[in-house]
Chains A and B, each alone.
Chain A
């Protein structure tokens, strides 16, 4: 199946710094990608929909200025956590849908674990 990668897989940063996470679709193009956040023992929570060539669509309660999303090309979306704080520590996962003969399947990246000290 299709492959989605994320980089980095793990990052530790100091409070107040910004962290960029990349999501790439390796063998298909994606005009839309999704960013999720997962807390321990909790659901994946959709944060935003990344749209190639236009602004991201954020879910209710997600701070746009805090979580900057840029969908620079048909294979790359980035999530930047600005001025990170310890409460931003979490597991961030992206996904990209691929359509094949009218059937659409979401392909997920392996996730990025962020720890803010």
Chain B
């Protein structure tokens, strides 16, 4: 079946450091790929998405590129802030899949001053 694999956390960075959170997927067909973020005490929020190969999703300084050849959707940010501290989830859904999302385990990011 479909699956998403994320790097384990927690990831601890200093403010202004470069962030990469790896995400790879296994799926038949052509899934859409998502990054969700969960801030403490809040629900998951869509951070960015990409619906086809080579698409780049971006939002709030975060970027991720849909790489079909490596089945990856790594999340990057050039300069993190303390306010980026949260749990980040990579997910996929498929056309005709009824909007069902398959999630990775989540990666906790802690940004320190």
Q: What total of chain B residues lie within 8 Å of the partner, measured CB to CB?
A: 18
In the complex, are the beta carbons of A49 and B98 less than 8 A apart?
yes
Contacts of A4 in B (CB 8 A): 43
B45 within 8 A of A: yes
Give the distance to chain A from B38, nearest Cβ to Cβ, in Å: 8
A95 within 8 A of B: yes
In the complex, are the beta carbons of B99 and A44 less than 8 A apart?
no
Q: Which chain A residue has the least Cβ–Cβ distance from B44?
A: A108
In the complex, are the beta carbons of A110 and B99 less than 8 A apart?
no
* A-B Cβ contacts below 8 A, count: 46
In the complex, are the beta carbons of A107 and B99 less than 8 A apart?
no
A69 within 8 A of B: no
B106 within 8 A of A: yes
- Find B43's partner among A34, A43, A111 (CB 8 Å cutoff): A111
In the complex, are the beta carbons of B43 and A44 less than 8 A apart?
no
A54 within 8 A of B: no
In the complex, are the beta carbons of A32 and B99 less than 8 A apart?
yes
Give the distance to chain A from B31, nearest Cβ to Cβ, in Å: 14
Give the distance to chain B from A58, nearest Cβ to Cβ, in Å: 12
- B residues 18-48 near A (Cβ < 8 Å) are 36, 41-46
Give the distance to chain A from B37, nearest Cβ to Cβ, in Å: 11
- A residues 27-47 near B (Cβ < 8 Å) are 32, 34, 36, 41-46
Contacts of B104 in A (CB 8 A): 43
Most chain A Cβ neighbours within 10 Å, of B4, B44, B100:
B44
Top 3 A-B residue pairs of the complex, sorted by shortest distance between their CB atoms? A108-B43, A108-B44, A44-B103
**Known contacts A46-B102, A93-B44, A97-B99; 13 further A-B pairs (Cβ under 8 A):** A1-B45, A4-B43, A34-B99, A41-B105, A42-B105, A43-B105, A49-B98, A95-B101, A104-B99, A105-B46, A108-B36, A109-B43, A110-B42
